[in-house]
Amino acid sequence: MSASGVIQARDSCTNSSSYDGYMNLRILSIFMILLSSGLGIFLPLILGSNFLTKKIFTSKREFSFINVFYFICKNFGQGVIFATSFIHLLQPANEELTAECLSPAWQVYPYAFGICMLSTFSIYLLEIVSRYYIETILNNGDAAKHHGHGLFNVGEILETGHLKEHGIVAHGNHEQANREVKEEDINAMELGLSKNNDDVTSENSSTDTVLKGESSTYAHELDTLHKVLSVCILEFGVIFHSVFVGLTLGVVSKDQFKVLFVVLVFHQLFEGLGCGTRIAEVEFSGRIKFLFGVMYTLTTPVSIAIGLGVRSSLDMDSNGMNIVSGVFDSISAGILMYNGFSLLFSSFNDFPGRIVMKLLAYVTTCFGVGIMALLGKWA
């Protein structure tokens, strides 16, 4: 903890509010941050909507603009999320939970890092359990939809002749299927017809198409639900963080307010771009995407307004607020850290065989990390 941080922590023993004016500017900050937050999260959502990309962006040049925009926002955004977890959440949480005014029990263990680690592995466990139940539900739904067979019962489908119900004859090493093929060949010969190999190939192709289609649909549904879960977790962690950021801006002293205000405008814009691109990628309905965007947009401005409402009594450096803010910042840090690493690992599958694009994505991500790490010098 820095010397200035120690002095500030000791001064907070008085349990008095830091608010000392700039009411008009603080009210303006509500609308400025509302604008930057909304622009950050809704710009990817609007430009990514099917209606706009299909009806307005019709030329190749306009489509290439959308692709470049999403490439930048996606990789820059995941860098922003990664840096936010370490610089804007974990480090402040550690300072809050080691403040000099807290009891000595808070000084004997790095609680911020422990809570962050617990949060990360709690999200890991949540995702394991959620994925299991998602797969179970999809398998059960697939079984009901397809008369009792699921994706992983391909052998049973072939052996029981289920595909005959769909007008398909399965060819292979199954005796029943071979018997049916032979009888059909005999009937064709009696009628003076010849069943050539093209017919057999066509039937085998139909069988493969059905199985691949079911597999592709299942994988798509599973991937979509996994993305939904990840986006919900990410939104949850960001909103936690935004609440305390807004409260701080509402009651912080005039000297700190000027810098914090400017930094938060860019912070909310960049963080919104990162969240917005992730939400846009998921096949939510338009209303759900809009709801997520509104939640992010309003959280910080509403928190600033609440902070102004209780400006005379709220001390963000008091013992209670240090503990509450430190714990929640640690939890949010763990959530964003988990999401950040997940996004980085998933990027390995982007642009297969194109090393230049992979390196360009890496540089863009590093730029996002660098910008947010730099902003951490002031907020």
The whole-number pLDDT of residue 114 equals: 95
Answer whether residue 112 is part of any domain.
yes
| The model's pTM | 0.69
The whole-number pLDDT of residue 110 equals: 92
Give the model confidence (pLDDT) of 130-142 as tens digits: 888 877 877 776 5
Look at residue 32 and tell me whether its pLDDT is greater than 90.
yes
Crossing angle of helices 355-375 and 254-281, rounded to 10°? 150
| Ranges 81-90, 305-314, 365-374: which has the least confidence | 305-314
Q: Contacts from 203-208 at CB under 8 Å and sequence distance 24+?
A: 203/168, 203/169, 203/171, 204/171, 206/168, 207/163, 207/168, 207/170, 207/171
Domain identity same for 199 and 302: no
Domain identity same for 101 and 159: no
186 contacts 233 by C-beta, under 8 angstroms: no
Distance of alpha carbon 215 from alpha carbon 264, whole angstroms:
46
The whole-number pLDDT of residue 150 equals: 42
Domain identity same for 365 and 287: yes
Q: Which residue has the higher pLDDT, 356 or 253?
A: 356
Domain identity same for 287 and 242: yes
- Residue 89 DSSP label: I
Answer whether residue 67 is part of any domain.
yes
Domain identity same for 246 and 342: yes
Distance of alpha carbon 311 from alpha carbon 301, whole angstroms:
15
Answer whether residue 226 is part of any domain.
no
Helices and strands (H, E) in the chain, number of each type: 13, 0
Domain identity same for 259 and 305: yes
How confident is residue 343, by pLDDT bands cut at 50, 70 and 90? confident
The whole-number pLDDT of residue 217 equals: 63
36 contacts 58 by C-beta, under 8 angstroms: no
Domain identity same for 258 and 324: yes
Distance of alpha carbon 96 from alpha carbon 263, whole angstroms:
20
Instruction: Give the domain range for residue 323.
Output: 3-118+236-375
Q: What is the mean pLDDT of the chain?
A: 75
Domain identity same for 194 and 72: no
Answer whether residue 73 is part of any domain.
yes
The closest of 280, 283, 227 to 48, measured between CA atoms, is 280
| Ranges 160-164, 271-275, 309-313, 336-340: which has the least confidence | 160-164
Domain identity same for 300 and 336: yes
Neighbour-count burial of 329, counting CB atoms closer than 10 A to its CB (0-12 exposed, 13-18 middle, 19+ buried) = buried
How confident is residue 17, by pLDDT bands cut at 50, 70 and 90? low
Answer whether residue 77 is part of any domain.
yes
Answer whether residue 262 is part of any domain.
yes
The total number of structural domains that make up the chain: 2
Answer whether residue 134 is part of any domain.
no
Give the model confidence (pLDDT) of 171-193 as tens digits: 444 444 444 444 555 454 444 44
Distance of alpha carbon 322 from alpha carbon 324, whole angstroms:
6
How confident is residue 215, by pLDDT bands cut at 50, 70 and 90? low
Look at residue 53 and tell me whether its pLDDT is greater than 70.
no
Residue at 85: amino acid letter = S
Domain identity same for 245 and 364: yes
Tokens of 250: 């509402």
The closest of 237, 322, 312, 314 to 271, measured between CA atoms, is 237
What value does the mean pLDDT take over residues 298-306?
92
Domain identity same for 256 and 354: yes
Answer whether residue 135 is part of any domain.
no
> What SS3 state is found at 378?
coil
Domain identity same for 240 and 197: no
Give the model confidence (pLDDT) of 55-111 as tens digits: 444 555 555 777 788 888 888 988 998 999 899 899 989 988 988 888 888 888 999
